[in-house]
Amino acid sequence: MFQIDCLNGKLLFFIFHSIIHNSSQIRYTDITYNYDFLQEDLFMLIKNGFLIDPASDTERLVDLRITDGLIQTLADAGTLTPENGEDELDAAGLMISPGLVDTHIHFRDPGFTYKEDLHTGSLAAAAGGFTSVICMANTSPVIDSVPVLKELMEREALEDIHIFQAAAVSCGLKGEEMTSMKELAAAGACGFTDDGIPLKNAAFLYKAMEEAKALDLPISLHEEDPAFIETNGINHGPVSDALGIYGSPSIAEESLVARDCLLALRSGAQVVIQHISSGQSVELVRTFKAMGANLHAEATPHHFTLTDEAVLKYGSLAKMNPPLRTENDRLAIIEGLKDGTIDLIATDHAPHSTEEKSRPITQTPSGIIGLETSLALGITSLVRPGHLTLSQLIEKMTINPASLYHLPCGSVAEGKSADLVLFDPNEKWIPETYASKSSNSPFTGWELYGKVKYTICDGKIVYKD
């Protein structure tokens, strides 16, 4: 177990990454933090909040004392009083949960920073209650080599939230030559994915799964076979017919999910089916999980909230890969969330410029932003209708992703880093403007329930409503 003393939080994270760069045997969870500096917001007392911590099965009113960026004391509400002039934050009427964790985001940095960059992406994450996120590898250059990974991680460490980085499975995302996965893992990659592009060669993917298993890191898969797709981003069906295009049928996803469930079962690797969109895909994951495959699945807020009918109303703002599908598919995703088949909620935060999203729908890029509305959509679409409890929702947005990727977060306990989100699950609000550099969301103007009031990362308030 490593203990690190440092002059400031950013230096700590830089040292943390440097250690990771030099040992494939060190996990994020092998490091404890000991800050010896005094910084605004790192010493505070949070009183009278209702803690929901699925990791410890805790649901109760608490007081929390934060010292040096760590949770020093966790006590029953009303038992702690301010000491040494520490700031007091009255959380009466608010829920406290671990800072949210998103396993699937695109900050477009490097290469596409006119859409988003590390800083604006971090601001968007904090506004949505996220203290930890995992960036995908489909940047320019692709994150397929150690020098590119190291340079990016050093810049990521300068932001106020924790940004972790996935590396590519194949060089240049071409699906032909495998990256040096062992070296990338030693340099700090927390998982592997060619997200945005499917891995079409089954034998190649199987070898990559074997390597990921040896490294004890997840491999995440974008499941869309382009051979079935004529126009991506829009489900093949009555809606695509109305638009005069063929679209993307669900078999494009289901065929690869079926194949990769078999490969996961055979390889034993931790395999993540990204942004699942088809009810048949959910059933395949359910079946192979029961057979013993180490499968995980992500559901996005847009896939459990909207159907392909939204394309007729919102146009390109409802175009994404994989596409929104039918009401039966949406309900099957909700059932998968309810029974644990789907264990991760991830945003697939995908910023695009207004100019790009203003093109004709067959020419506009796929994807929407999602960090700032994710928690509220979970509450609005899943909790309030009774599909999930609030604790079950938080579990899929905190401890489940943190455990899968070996991240030092996802729970609230004494001695842990003070990564927290305070929110009012009953407050109505309407998203109108965004901290993100982009605004490509169909949820602008919606009335949602669940407002983030404070986001705290390493004991520092990084967002305040």
In tens, the pLDDT along 231-286 reads 999 999 999 999 999 999 999 999 999 999 999 999 999 999 999 999 999 999 99
Residue spans of beta strands (DSSP E) within 127-183: 130-135, 162-165
Using an 8 Å Cβ cutoff, are 301 and 249 in contact?
no
Q: Is 465 a catalytic residue?
A: no
Examine the pLDDT at 12 and tell me if it is beyond 90: no
Q: What local confidence, expressed as pLDDT, does residue 195 receive?
A: 97
The mean pLDDT of 139-157, rounded to a whole number, is: 98
Examine the pLDDT at 14 and tell me if it is beyond 80: no
Average pLDDT, the chain: 92
Q: What local confidence, expressed as pLDDT, does residue 448 receive?
A: 98
Examine the pLDDT at 1 and tell me if it is beyond 60: no
Q: What local confidence, expressed as pLDDT, does residue 453 receive?
A: 98
Report the alpha-carbon distance of residue 350 to residue 300 in Å, rounded. 12
Report the alpha-carbon distance of residue 441 to residue 314 in Å, rounded. 9
Q: What local confidence, expressed as pLDDT, does residue 376 receive?
A: 98
Q: What local confidence, expressed as pLDDT, does residue 40 receive?
A: 52
- pLDDT bin (cut points 50, 70, 90) of residue 183 is very high
Give the containing element (helix H, strand E) for 293. Answer: none
Q: What local confidence, expressed as pLDDT, does residue 85 receive?
A: 79
The mean pLDDT of 35-46, rounded to a whole number, is: 61
Q: In this predicted structure, which of 3-12, 121-130, 189-198, 336-345 has the lowest mean pLDDT?
A: 3-12
* Own/partner long-range contacts of 8-13 (Cβ < 8 Å, ≥24 apart): 8/37, 8/39, 9/35, 9/39, 9/69, 9/458, 9/460, 10/157, 10/158, 13/157, 13/162
Examine the pLDDT at 124 and tell me if it is beyond 90: yes
The mean pLDDT of 40-45, rounded to a whole number, is: 76
Report the alpha-carbon distance of residue 425 to residue 390 in Å, rounded. 9
What's the pTM? Answer: 0.92
* Residue 246 burial class via C-beta count within 10 angstroms: exposed 0-12, middle 13-18, buried 19 and up: middle
Examine the pLDDT at 6 and tell me if it is beyond 60: no
Of the residues 195, 329, 343, 348, only one is catalytic, namely 348
Residue count of the chain, please give it: 465
